Structure 1
Amino acid sequence: MITRPLFTIPDAPKGETVTITFEGQPMVVPDGISVAAALLAGGARDFRSSVVGQAPRAPYCMMGVCFECLVEIDGVPARQSCLMPVRNGMQIKRQIGAPELDDLNVGDHHE
């Protein structure tokens, strides 16, 4: 769900911008900000759903400690959006529940 932004980027530098896509909607954002900051400024309210109960979750600490800001970026799940700088062409989706584990690495213990 995208709604009226809770956060804005006041007096953003008139420098470079990049275009990212969140859930199929393009967003033009200042270059160099985090994915989380860009999504919050663009009005995104929920970034992922919890593993248990599928409750909507959003960034909390904005410094990589809480893991509430996990999103899928360019097909890679469970990326901390508060630590990832935006780059032109990024495709971002909500993280729904737990990411799938790579079947090749799970339980493959040879002795």
Structure 2
Amino acid sequence: MGTISMTVNTALLHRVAEKDRSPVPFLLDGEPATALEGDTVLTAILTHRAQLRRNEFSHEPRAGFCLMGACQDCWVMTASGERLRSCATFVKAGMQLTTGAPA
């Protein structure tokens, strides 16, 4: 019998059929990534990964909680050190996002 090759996509969110929105390039922890126009930062990250970040105290994986900007569980940092609520911030071309804890 032949072998079957499969590519495993570890992203938490998977797009079904997107044809009408423009791609938006950004950097995610120093790696090039692409979102779609109108995506929140949270959506942009979770279409690439299974988690948004790790909790700064327990180090458990986080993927957002309330998804409306109230709980602050979805924060990420920009390269300049600005803290963003990823569920309430739209991704912009050229954004440089860091999902780790601040130094």
The answer, yes or no, to whether TM exceeds 0.5 is: yes
Distance in 1 (CA, whole Å) between partners of 2:31 and 2:59 is 23
The amino acid across from 2:39 in the alignment is I
- 1:2-42: CA deviations, max 9, x gaps? x6112122222433211011112211211111000011111
Give, in angstroms, the shift of residue 92 of structure 1: 0.6
Q: 3-state DSSP class of the match of 2:97? A: strand
The amino acid across from 2:94 in the alignment is G
Which residue number in structure 1 is paired with residue 65 of structure 2? Answer: 60
Distance in 2 (CA, whole Å) between partners of 1:36 and 1:24 is 17
Which residue number in structure 1 is paired with residue 39 of structure 2? Answer: 33
Which residue number in structure 1 is paired with residue 29 of structure 2? Answer: 23
Distance in 2 (CA, whole Å) between partners of 1:95 and 1:77 is 13
5+ residue gaps, structure 1, are 101-111
Normalised by the size of structure 2, how large is the TM-score? 0.76
Distance in 2 (CA, whole Å) between partners of 1:31 and 1:45 is 21
Corresponding residue pairs, total = 95
Residues 55-94 of structure 1 correspond to what in structure 2 (within 5 A)? 55-94=60-99
- 1:70-97: CA deviations, max 9, x gaps? 101232343101111011001011141x
Q: 3-state DSSP class of the match of 2:45? A: helix
The percentage of aligned residue pairs carrying the same residue is 26
Q: 1:77 touches 1:95 (CA, 8 Å); kept in 2?
A: no
Q: 1:78 touches 1:95 (CA, 8 Å); kept in 2?
A: no
Normalised by the size of structure 1, how large is the TM-score? 0.72
